Chain A
Amino acid sequence: MKLKTALLGAACAFAFAPAAFAERGSDGTVNVLYAQAPSTLNPYLSSGTKDVENASIILEGMAGFDEKGVVFPRLAESVPTVENGGISADLTSITWKLKPGLLWSDGTPVTSADAKFTYEYCTAPDGGCAQASRYEGITSIDTPDDQTVVINFDGPKPNPYQAFVGGTSPILQKAQFANCMGAAASTCTEQNFNPIGTGPFRVVEFKTNDTVTLEANPNYRDPAKPAFAKMVVKGGGDAESAARAVMQTGEFDYAWNTQINPELQAQMETGGKGKFVNGFGTLVERIEMNMTDPSPDLAEGERSTTKHPHPILSDINVRTALSKAIDRQILVDIGYGNAGRPTCNLVPAPELFASDNTGCIPHDMEGAKKLLDDAGWVPGADGVREKDGKKLHILYQTSTNPVRQDFQALIKDWWTELGVDVELRNIDASVFFGGDAGSPDTFQKFYADVEMYANNFDGTDPEPYLASYLCNKIPGPDNQWQGENINRFCDPAYDALVAEMGKTSDMAKRSELAKKMNDMLTKDSMVIVPLVDRGRLSAASNALGGVNLNTWDTEMWNVQDWFRVK
């Protein structure tokens, strides 16, 4: 007996996965804390991350994104590609094949009709589907047999992994939602609060804006999973108390989005009950340089427009020197700790599209000073550099947020040392990001010399994101200040690359183009000065195994693989 136990122990150690021996429901209950409570479990009726995350425990799509941003099959047998014939050569259709023998949690079979219904459900008029963008460009869905789903697009789609891929577009059961089309969608409370799914858990009880109680789905396709018999997702509180509940009191096994300052992170980690897990997506905190003149002396309607180039920031030497003078590692240590890392890229991920540009990371104050000296910007009597009667005076604005104000203080110190006179301004976030064309304080109007904020792109494909730096997307009075090209960057060569990428489907080629465009905006022109690659930070108990934070899909993407560490 003893020998047997020892052997079993050794096997465990070798396999390094106790879950492999576990059977469904053998590990008891797992408790998860969401600082924001879910209000519905139908992701098509809410764009809130909390709702999508919670729904993804119950509902699944054909495929999902793994932690590297790569598409992997869920309900589908395999991921269709051009090579295996799943995507047509002209990129206008994609064919998904369901795994055989799939069952809904109520025991009925999953068929292609469910997928087609989901598309119709989300695109029904008056339905107000929150995820309609996932189904954009689809002309029709064909179901030649019960296992096959063919999606036809209105034109070539280089990135067809939109519909039925990821937590934001799961497949709904036709039988359950058939009467909830269009305007009736939000009235189907029973269906929206208790959707029948194919995921590892099914709903036992849902208290809106409070708690979701789930149990293992008896019809889940892998008979050994999930290891937990019950799952309780509690909502409410704030990031700090959520982190505490996992890291210090141990009441919960997992807490979602525990973005707290590095000091607190370090303090809580000494508790020894849990650890912070992080994952990096595409969110980059950056300084944007204004290529146009924001001077208040100019007439309204001409301020910060392409009519007047910026008097000092038009000089690339100034922009480069400003970037060199910043020590990004210090910014990360102060502001984000484990949840950030220095970056020089606008597109820091996925790996396929990330440029190897790291030249900005070493702090080089002397180099920055020399660059300005050589370019003719010499210190005046008051220590502020000047050239041709123009002083290096910079108005630096951002939204109101404690971390951003710390960054402003630090960067101001560095720039002052460089010989730049810096004026700081912070604006309430709801105004700054509000997009009101009547307000002078929005980030689109950019009535400042430089501004700092963070932005990311949805999904794994950077094409639409990079296309926002086209010449014709410059915000101005003629388009109600609604462009996305905040810096007023304009380069015909760049526009040509964007057009080329729109026609390219070969992944290697796309990656090369994306990297080239990223470099044009960052290291070649210094129009965008990336500072910190901001990750997601969640807290997981040491007693919970199998956690793998994923920033491309929901954090609950692999909840079926979670197990209790004994």
Chain B
Amino acid sequence: MTDATTAIEKPASQMRAIWQQFRTHKGALFGLIVLGTLILAVVLGPFLWVPEKMSVAKAIMLKNQGPSWRFPLGTDQLGRDMLARMLDAGKVSLAVGFVAMMIAIFVGTTIGILAGYFKRLDGPLMRLTDMFLALPLIPLLLVMVMLFRDRIAGLVGPEMGAFLLIVFAIGVTSWMQAARIVRGEVLALKEREYVLAARSIGAIPRRIILRHILPNVVSPVMVAATLGVAEAIITESVLSFLGLGFPPDFPTWGRLLYDGLSYMQIYPERVIWPGVAISLTVLSVNYIGDGLRDALDPRIRGR
């Protein structure tokens, strides 16, 4: 435990230790590079790659083209540039994935810690978790979209409204696993000697939670979070497909995949591009999570 105390005094060296450990995980490093590239591409890509403006009739002439210098990823069934659509779509899909994951993790961790630490809250909070687990996602979303779509769209516009609604909906329906994992960890941790010691010198619960418990549950939370990103991206595709998500002219990777499905036999690349993008994101996020778990766990670090 001496390591931990020195680390708190010098945060920089702890960061370095984590990085050192993280670097040894080849998969995680690879994941970080891939994910970094994808994020850079969707953020900077639209500035670097501006597709030419064409009239509908002209675009139709250029439909279903294979990859070429003019259209690096080819064109779709309406003659739209696939690269530009992939970049636009990636921005939405990645944003949905990460924001929804953050909401889910924040809610899940909070509820898990409260339930695990405070005995009185355990029962009600865990029953709440059970209730959310029992809620079917799709009907819940139907109701949410029905009730709030027009109002939110009126406030922030249809695209932003759909984004907020979807992110919020996915967030509030996927925090339960995280909450259960965290509660279990907290139940075990709060009986550990160092927590007892902290309590015996009169530390208030907030301090014990933030200082002693939270850092120790980071690793399971990280794993849950990485899985959450992948799940959120996929849930978003499902929603867009059902027409509950973004307006149809607003591409996401999931939508591109579904659009390409009926052309899979003739133009397999139409499903390969978004499919590869989704898989790469999910895979690299999972590897990063794996690496982070090892790096953040003081018991593994340095071995």
Within the complex, the shortest CB–CB distance from B243 to chain A, in Å, comes to 4
**Chain A residue with Cβ nearest B138:** A428
Q: Contact check, A327 vs B56: say whether CB atoms are below 8 A apart.
A: yes
B259 within 8 A of A: yes
Most chain A beta carbons < 10 A, residue from B150, B248, B266: B248
Q: Contact check, B249 vs A408: say whether CB atoms are below 8 A apart.
A: yes
Most chain B beta carbons < 10 A, residue from A296, A410, A425: A425
Within the complex, the shortest CB–CB distance from A306 to chain B, in Å, comes to 21
Which B254-274 residues have a C-beta within 8 angstroms of A?
Answer: 258-259, 261-263, 265-267
Q: Contact check, A406 vs B266: say whether CB atoms are below 8 A apart.
A: no
Q: Contact check, A400 vs B243: say whether CB atoms are below 8 A apart.
A: yes
A11 within 8 A of B: no
Identify the stretch in A341-349, A371-379, A412-420, A508-516 within 8 Å (CB) of chain B at 4 or more residues: A412-420
Query: Do A263 and B247 contact each other (CB < 8 Å), given the known contacts A402-B259, A417-B55, A441-B146?
Result: no
Option from B55, B154, B259, B266 in Cβ contact (under 8 Å) with A405: B259
Residues of B within 8 A of A296 (CB): 150-151, 154
CA distance A55 to B57 in the complex (A): 46
Which B15-74 residues have a C-beta within 8 angstroms of A?
Answer: 55-57, 59-60, 63-64
Which A320-344 residues have a C-beta within 8 angstroms of B?
Answer: 327, 330, 333-334
A409 within 8 A of B: yes
Q: Contact check, B263 vs A263: say whether CB atoms are below 8 A apart.
A: yes
A543 within 8 A of B: no
CA distance A550 to B158 in the complex (A): 44
Residues of B within 8 A of A440 (CB): 146, 150
Within the complex, the shortest CB–CB distance from A117 to chain B, in Å, comes to 47
Within the complex, the shortest CB–CB distance from B223 to chain A, in Å, comes to 34
Which A413-440 residues have a C-beta within 8 angstroms of B?
Answer: 413-414, 417, 423-428, 431, 439-440
CA distance A81 to B64 in the complex (A): 54
Q: Contact check, A426 vs B243: say whether CB atoms are below 8 A apart.
A: yes
Interface contact tally, CB-CB below 8 A:
77
- Chain A positions 253 through 265: 1 when the CB is less than 8 Å from some CB of chain B, otherwise 0: 0000000110110
Q: Contact check, B56 vs A414: say whether CB atoms are below 8 A apart.
A: yes
CA distance A400 to B259 in the complex (A): 11
B77 within 8 A of A: yes
**Chain A residue with Cβ nearest B261:** A402
Which B224-271 residues have a C-beta within 8 angstroms of A?
Answer: 241-244, 247-249, 258-259, 261-263, 265-267
B128 within 8 A of A: no
Query: Do A334 and B64 contact each other (CB < 8 Å), given the known contacts A261-B262, A409-B249, A424-B247?
Result: no
Query: Do A412 and B249 contact each other (CB < 8 Å), given the known contacts A334-B78, A427-B243?
Result: yes
Within the complex, the shortest CB–CB distance from A438 to chain B, in Å, comes to 9
CA distance A296 to B263 in the complex (A): 38
B121 within 8 A of A: no
A56 within 8 A of B: no
CA distance A408 to B142 in the complex (A): 22
How many residues on the B side are at the interface (Cβ–Cβ under 8 A)? 31
Option from A267, A402, A412 in Cβ contact (under 8 Å) with B262: A402
**Chain A residue with Cβ nearest B159:** A423
Residues of A within 8 A of B57 (CB): 327, 330
Query: Do A428 and B56 contact each other (CB < 8 Å), given the known contacts A264-B266, A334-B77?
Result: no
How many residues on the A side are at the interface (Cβ–Cβ under 8 A)? 33
Residues of B within 8 A of A400 (CB): 241-243
Query: Do A428 and B244 contact each other (CB < 8 Å), given the known contacts A402-B259, A408-B249, A440-B146?
Result: yes
Residues of A within 8 A of B242 (CB): 400, 428
Q: Contact check, B56 vs A410: say whether CB atoms are below 8 A apart.
A: yes
Q: Contact check, A426 vs B266: say whether CB atoms are below 8 A apart.
A: no
Q: Contact check, A263 vs B56: say whether CB atoms are below 8 A apart.
A: no
CA distance A441 to B149 in the complex (A): 11
Q: Contact check, B78 vs A410: say whether CB atoms are below 8 A apart.
A: yes
Within the complex, the shortest CB–CB distance from B59 to chain A, in Å, comes to 8
**Chain B residue with Cβ nearest A447:** B150
Query: Do A424 and B249 contact each other (CB < 8 Å), given the known contacts A263-B263, A441-B146?
Result: yes
Q: Contact check, A406 vs B154: say whether CB atoms are below 8 A apart.
A: no
Query: Do A406 and B77 contact each other (CB < 8 Å), given the known contacts A296-B154, A440-B146?
Result: yes
Residues of A within 8 A of B248 (CB): 405, 408-409, 424-426
Residues of B within 8 A of A426 (CB): 243, 247-248
**Chain A residue with Cβ nearest B255:** A405
CA distance A22 to B109 in the complex (A): 80
Which B130-175 residues have a C-beta within 8 angstroms of A?
Answer: 142, 146, 150-151, 154, 158
CA distance A440 to B146 in the complex (A): 7
CA distance A116 to B66 in the complex (A): 64
A551 within 8 A of B: no
CA distance A94 to B15 in the complex (A): 93
Q: Contact check, A263 vs B266: say whether CB atoms are below 8 A apart.
A: yes
Within the complex, the shortest CB–CB distance from B142 to chain A, in Å, comes to 7
A292 within 8 A of B: no
Option from A267, A333, A405, A417 in Cβ contact (under 8 Å) with B60: A333
CA distance A482 to B264 in the complex (A): 40
CA distance A400 to B241 in the complex (A): 7
**Chain A residue with Cβ nearest B267:** A263
Most chain B beta carbons < 10 A, residue from A334, A408, A413: A413
Q: Contact check, B77 vs A431: say whether CB atoms are below 8 A apart.
A: no
- Chain A positions 466 through 482: 1 when the CB is less than 8 Å from some CB of chain B, otherwise 0: 00000000000000000
Q: Contact check, B77 vs A263: say whether CB atoms are below 8 A apart.
A: yes
Option from A260, A406, A428 in Cβ contact (under 8 Å) with B78: A406
Residues of B within 8 A of A405 (CB): 248, 259
Q: Contact check, B158 vs A264: say whether CB atoms are below 8 A apart.
A: no
CA distance A263 to B57 in the complex (A): 18
Q: Contact check, B154 vs A264: say whether CB atoms are below 8 A apart.
A: no
Q: Contact check, B263 vs A261: say whether CB atoms are below 8 A apart.
A: yes
Residues of B within 8 A of A402 (CB): 258-259, 261-262
Residues of A within 8 A of B60 (CB): 330, 333-334
Which A440-465 residues have a C-beta within 8 angstroms of B?
Answer: 440-441, 447
Within the complex, the shortest CB–CB distance from B35 to chain A, in Å, comes to 30
A541 within 8 A of B: no
A95 within 8 A of B: no
Within the complex, the shortest CB–CB distance from B95 to chain A, in Å, comes to 20
Residues of A within 8 A of B267 (CB): 263
Within the complex, the shortest CB–CB distance from A527 to chain B, in Å, comes to 24
**Chain A residue with Cβ nearest B59:** A413
Residues of B within 8 A of A105 (CB): none
A399 within 8 A of B: yes
CA distance A425 to B158 in the complex (A): 9
Q: Contact check, A267 vs B266: say whether CB atoms are below 8 A apart.
A: yes
Give 4 nearest A-B pairs by CB, closest first: A400-B243, A426-B243, A296-B150, A405-B248
A→B interface (CB under 8 Å): 260-261, 263-264, 267, 296, 327, 330, 333-334, 399-400, 402, 405-406, 408-410, 412-414, 417, 423-428, 431, 439-441, 447
A-B contact pairs, 26 of them (CB 8 A): A261-B77, A264-B262, A264-B266, A327-B56, A334-B63, A334-B77, A399-B243, A400-B241, A402-B258, A405-B248, A406-B77, A408-B248, A408-B249, A409-B248, A410-B78, A412-B249, A417-B56, A424-B249, A426-B247, A426-B248, A428-B242, A428-B243, A431-B142, A439-B146, A440-B146, A441-B146
Extra contacts besides A400-B241, A413-B56, A427-B243 (18): CB < 8 Å: A261-B77, A263-B64, A296-B151, A327-B56, A327-B57, A330-B57, A334-B63, A334-B77, A405-B259, A406-B77, A409-B78, A409-B80, A409-B248, A409-B249, A423-B247, A425-B247, A431-B142, A441-B146
